[in-house]
Amino acid sequence: SQQGEEDPQALSIQEGENATMNCSYKTSINNLQWYRQNSGRGLVHLILIRSNEREKHSGRLRVTLDTSKKSSSLLITASRAADTASYFCATGSGGSNYKLTFGKGTLLTVNP
Amino acid sequence: DGGITQSPKYLFRKEGQNVTLSCEQNLNHDAMYWYRQDPGQGLRLIYYSQIVNDFQKGDIAEGYSVSREKKESFPLTVTSAQKNPTAFYLCASSIWTATVGTDTQYFGPGTRLTVL
């Protein structure tokens, strides 16, 4: 079953602009993770935020988590053409220590 | 080089045949996972293994089988019972974190299976 739902499904921006993607989920979580997938490739882990954290940074990435709204956002600042990829959120729930549930992803296109 | 390898990259199967997808990791991770990805979709969990000689069904295990005889290896067999096996298959691994739950997963490059 799908836990996370990303929004928008697709996003097209110009190089240098910021990109914001959102993720909503339904049940309580231990952590929320964001992954990137280039076309036809495996997923690459970007950032993990735990349920007791509200914001996390990694380079040009900023992730927020609002557990009261059951939502998260991923902000990519100063985007580059190389950021073009699909971005997935994945939630880890209590009682299922090894399971991540993935959303359908946001396809980000950064135009040079 | 540390990481996860999957082979082959592309695999073609005739209807009615079983095929086995390979997944090997040298990250010393206890947990390994198999996911299926269909076009424009997210990942769905097929099977996962927390420790050698033990594995659990995921959300879409019907028509698939796995084994975990070694820590480094977690092969997936797509059997003839899987009605729609054409998809992109991804293997992943992670460390065991008893206190904090599911941790970062590291993915292989994937195998694209096509049924002819």
Q: How would residue A65 be classed by pLDDT, with cut points 50, 70 and 90? A: very high
Asked if the Cβ–Cβ distance from A98 to B109 is below 8 Å, we say no
In this prediction, residues B11-27 reach a mean pLDDT of 94
Q: Quick: pLDDT tens for A93-107.
A: 766 556 788 999 999
Half-sphere exposure of residue A34, counting CA atoms within 13 Å on the CB side?
Answer: 27
User: Cβ separation of A98 and B41 shorter than 8 Å?
Assistant: no
Least confident of A54-63, B39-48, B60-69, B94-103: B94-103
Question: What chain A residue is nearest to B95 in terms of C-alpha separation?
Answer: A98
Is the model's pLDDT at A1 over the cut of 50?
A: no
Please list every residue in chain B whose beta carbon sits closer than 8 Å to the beta carbon of residue A98: 31, 33, 48, 50, 56, 94, 102
Q: Which position has the higher pLDDT, B36 or B39?
A: B36
User: Closest chain A residue to B10 measured between Cα atoms?
Assistant: A40
8 Å CB contact of B102 and A2: no
Picking from B4, B102, B114 by the largest number of A CB atoms within 10 A of its own CB, the best residue to mutate is B102
Chains A and B form CB pairs within 8 A to the count of 78
Which tops the pLDDT comparison, B69 or A4?
B69
Least confident piece of the model among A3-12, A33-42, A49-58, A70-79: A3-12
pLDDT, position A98: 66
- B101 sits in the region (left: phi over 0; alpha: psi -120 to 50; else beta) called left
Mean pLDDT of B43-48: 94
| Tens-digit pLDDT profile for residues B55-106 | 999 999 999 999 999 999 999 999 988 889 999 999 999 987 666 556 789 9
- Pick from A50, A96, A100: which is nearest to B105 by CB? A100
Residue of B nearest to A47 (CA): B104
Q: What DSSP line would sit under B39-83, residue for residue?
A: TT--EEEEEEEEETTEEEE-TT-TTEEE--SBTTB--EEE-TT-S
pLDDT band at A86 (very low <50, low <70, confident <90, very high): very high
Beta carbons of B110 and A42 less than 8 Å apart: yes
Contact B88 A40 (CB under 8 A): yes
- Measured CA distances, A57 to A46, A47, A50, A108, B91 (Å): 10, 8, 13, 20, 27
Mutate to test the interface with A, among B43, B46, B95, B96 (most CBs of A within 10 A): B43
Q: What is the reported pLDDT for B44?
A: 94
pLDDT more than 90, % of chain A:
74
CA distance, residue A15 to nearest chain B CA (Å): 24
